[in-house]
Structure 1
């Protein structure tokens, strides 16, 4: 009986361990849900402030297996950029419950920490990744610029929140041949 309990405890510990270098779908889904619940629908009063900043979907396109590593790095870089955009104390007071915002930040941080090994891996197509990384960096710089130009006002944050919701949904829908772990 003791052997059975010990084995069961060992299996449960291994199952609960983080899956390194494998993005956790459930955590990305939670981030997406938290963003939605923080502020609800995009406010009508902010429609005039909405700016067209197209997300660089090309950073996630791939045809060959050699490009698979670049895609994983693109997901990592995207999550890292999202974390850095929201790593700001000037988020709107109108967003409900500060706990949700903190949970959102903590989950993003966890995803990037657990998957830092993705960036450290050497893939065959480094030039391909660098092009993708540049496109993502430019996109997120535009989002940061909008926040600064609009003096971190409510509507600017709503625009960024709306953009990030679409980004996370895009990543979740694409799923890149099952690269997400189903656990967590």
Structure 2
């Protein structure tokens, strides 16, 4: 009887492992759909870009090295990093942003789901404590610097309506860059 129970437990664990492995193997397709959903929510959160904010537009230079990633594992790590930083930005002082609260909440939840999914797929790497390559580390630092500029911009503009609208446009660009990388990795 004990052997039968152990055998059943083994089959269940094997099945769960197989499902989670398959889930990570379909990652590009899954995240492509999630990115598209988040882009839709980001657009739905606000209206057209306010005319009075045109003069405040600023160009944040997204790290182009990210777009050149060739290995799926490296891309997963960097995508997770970007999503975490976007999530961090959208947990800031949003009181002056005149956005649809329900869409904003769904956007934040969607980001959180993607982050958790990537985390689950990357746990093996984390457990092995594989060090980041030099190129990965450079990309990570450039991404952090990029998001620090965005964070500083919001603080300098005191989280004004225009600053949030500019950041919403920039985050749309970030998600589109992620989508490009995911699309390239699918092929």
- Normalised to the residue count of structure 2, the TM-score between the two structures is 0.76
* Number of residue pairs matched by the alignment: 163
Match of 2:184 in 1: 176
Matched, 1:87 2:91: yes
Matched, 1:143 2:150: yes
In 2, the alpha carbon distance for the partners of 1:139 and 1:48 equals 21
Q: Is the 8 A contact 1:70 1:123 kept in 2?
A: no
Q: Give RMSD over aligned pairs.
A: 2.8
Match of 1:131 in 2: 138
What's the CA shift string for 1:73-115, capped at 9, x where partnerless? 11111111000100124243421x2110000000101110111
Look up the SS of the partner of 2:94 in the other structure. Answer: coil
In 1, the alpha carbon distance for the partners of 2:69 and 2:102 equals 37
Give the deviation of 1:19 after TM superposition: 2.7
Q: Is the 8 A contact 2:72 2:185 kept in 1?
A: no
In 1, the alpha carbon distance for the partners of 2:174 and 2:146 equals 11
In 2, the alpha carbon distance for the partners of 1:54 and 1:46 equals 19
Matched, 1:78 2:43: no
Bigger proportion of residues as helix: 2
In 2, the alpha carbon distance for the partners of 1:138 and 1:119 equals 25
In 2, the alpha carbon distance for the partners of 1:76 and 1:131 equals 16
Q: Is the 8 A contact 1:83 1:109 kept in 2?
A: yes
Look up the SS of the partner of 1:19 in the other structure. Answer: helix
What's the CA shift string for 1:132-184, capped at 9, x where partnerless? 100100000000000000000000001110000011112213423218xxxxx
User: Does the C-alpha gap of structure 1 residues 76 and 176 become closer, same or farther in structure 2, counting only changes over 3 Å?
Assistant: farther
Give the deviation of 1:123 after TM superposition: 6.0
Match of 1:99 in 2: 102
Match of 1:115 in 2: 118
User: Does the C-alpha gap of structure 1 residues 62 and 27 become closer, same or farther in structure 2, counting only changes over 3 Å?
Assistant: closer
In 2, the alpha carbon distance for the partners of 1:123 and 1:62 equals 18
Q: Which runs of 5+ in 1 are unaligned?
A: 1-13, 180-184
Q: Compare CA radii of gyration and give the structure with the larger one.
A: 2
User: Does the C-alpha gap of structure 1 residues 80 and 93 become closer, same or farther in structure 2, counting only changes over 3 Å?
Assistant: closer
